[in-house]
């Protein structure tokens, strides 16, 4: 794509800034962060929206719905969106078709869609007679979705790591007890994050210690669809026949190689993996450099000796330690949940 600034109006340029701000309010994971703003022919705001997470409406349909909620009509309007409208059917229909059906006259987008199956929306729109311009603030859009794009380019799922620990970084006491380090509000937030992922993974150590179901609170083990609803155990130890995790969607991967696990899950259609531990599994993913975001729940207690959250990372000096940064996508980077604190973090040397 050309790096020259496309021919756009002042109103469209300002709307793109707003759309990018909206995009940053979304939830990272299997889908990119996308925002959209709908303008009338004279540049007035008609509606806006953003993608709120897997399975929810994409930004363009959300913005069109907002127009209608406000009593407006999107026919003849301009849609300003931070990513080329998708052109495929996944959990939702193609945004290119939604825009065509709505009768919009013009689409201004930032970055081209790098997801092969979803690409081609601009061409589809132009073929239907919709004026379509790309490249406005493309660099900012690409930075916003750099981790999602990197995971896609590496043919692996986007990886979220979740950890609950004490003030001194312990995930279990000396006797092995770990339920519950954090309180009900933090656990409820963890279940919310769990519900957004295509697959949830633990190691055999956590399985044997806690016998988790790995389903979101209040939700039964649903019959999985390709790439969705998997509950994964990683490790060579056999899974007991009476383990709570068994049932539709259960998958045991008897390997300790992180790349092999990611290859297997990507091949099964998983695009967002939540790693819940335990410590050895969490450290394995961190050592491999494939963790795209980290949710760390810290409880106000001190355990002293006990299991560390992230053992064996090979960090010998303070200078060698990786410094993560706060990530405010989908909410504040630091949030108090009852007595506990949640930090949402991005890895070093990544974009917003």
Residue 12 among the catalytic residues: no
Spatial distance between the Cα atoms of 333 and 228, rounded to a whole number of angstroms: 27
Strands 340-346 and 325-326: antiparallel
Confirm if 245 and 231 have CB atoms less than 8 A apart. Answer: yes
Of 60, 241, 264, 319, the catalytic one is 60
Pair of tokens at residue 263 = 């290859």
- Please give the annotated binding residues, written as ranges: 58, 86, 95, 164, 178, 180, 194, 206, 210, 214, 217, 276, 278-284
Pick left, alpha or beta for residue 53 (phi over 0 → left; psi -120 to 50 → alpha; otherwise beta). left
Indicate left, alpha or beta for 76 from its phi (over 0: left) and psi (-120 to 50: alpha).
Answer: left
Query: 102 and 68 in contact (C-beta within 8 Å)?
Result: no
Name residue 297's beta-bridge partners: 164, 342
- Which residues, including other chains, have CB under 8 Å from residue 23's CB and lie 6 or more apart? 33, 34, 35, 50, 51, 59, 82, 141, 144
Query: Tokens standing for 82?
Result: 């931070």
Structure tokens at 287: 């050592």
CA 254 to chain centre: 26
Residues with active-site annotation? 60
């Amino acid at each position: 794509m050309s790096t020259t600034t496309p021919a756009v109006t002042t109103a469209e340029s300002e709307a793109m800034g707003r759309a990018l701000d909206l995009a940053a309010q979304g939830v990272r994971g299997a889908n990119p962060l996308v925002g959209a703003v709908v303008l009338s022919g004279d540049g007035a705001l008609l509606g806006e929206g953003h993608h709120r997470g897997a399975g929810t409406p994409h930004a363009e349909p959300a913005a069109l719905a907002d127009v209608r909620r406000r009593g407006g009509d999107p026919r003849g309007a301009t849609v300003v969106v931070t990513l080329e409208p998708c052109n495929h059917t996944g959990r939702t229909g193609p945004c290119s078709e939604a825009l065509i059906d709505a009768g919009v006259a013009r689409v201004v987008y930032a970055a081209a869609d790098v997801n092969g199956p979803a690409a081609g929306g601009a061409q589809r729109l132009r073929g239907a007679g919709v004026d379509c311009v790309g490249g406005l603030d493309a660099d900012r859009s690409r930075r916003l979705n750099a981790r999602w794009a990197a995971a896609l380019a590496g043919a692996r799922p986007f990886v979220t790591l979740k950890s609950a620990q004490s003030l001194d970084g312990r995930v279990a006491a000396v006797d092995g007890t770990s339920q519950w380090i954090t309180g009900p509000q933090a656990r409820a937030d963890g279940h919310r994050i769990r519900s957004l992922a295509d697959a949830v993974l633990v190691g055999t150590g956590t399985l044997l210690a806690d016998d988790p179901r790995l389903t979101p609170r209040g939700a039964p083990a649903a019959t999985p669809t390709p790439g969705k609803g998997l509950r994964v155990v990683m490790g060579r130890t056999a899974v007991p026949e009476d383990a709570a995790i068994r049932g539709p969607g259960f998958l045991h991967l008897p390997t300790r190689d992180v790349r092999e696990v990611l290859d297997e899950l990507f091949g099964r259609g998983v695009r967002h993996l939540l790693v819940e531990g335990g410590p050895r599994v969490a450290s394995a993913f961190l050592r491999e450099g494939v963790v795209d975001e980290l949710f760390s729940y810290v409880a106000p207690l001190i355990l002293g000796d006990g299991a560390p959250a992230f053992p064996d990372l090979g960090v010998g000096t303070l200078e060698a330690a990786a410094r993560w940064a706060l990530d405010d996508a989908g909410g504040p980077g630091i949030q108090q949940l009852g007595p506990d604190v949640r930090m949402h973090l991005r890895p070093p040397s990544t974009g917003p």
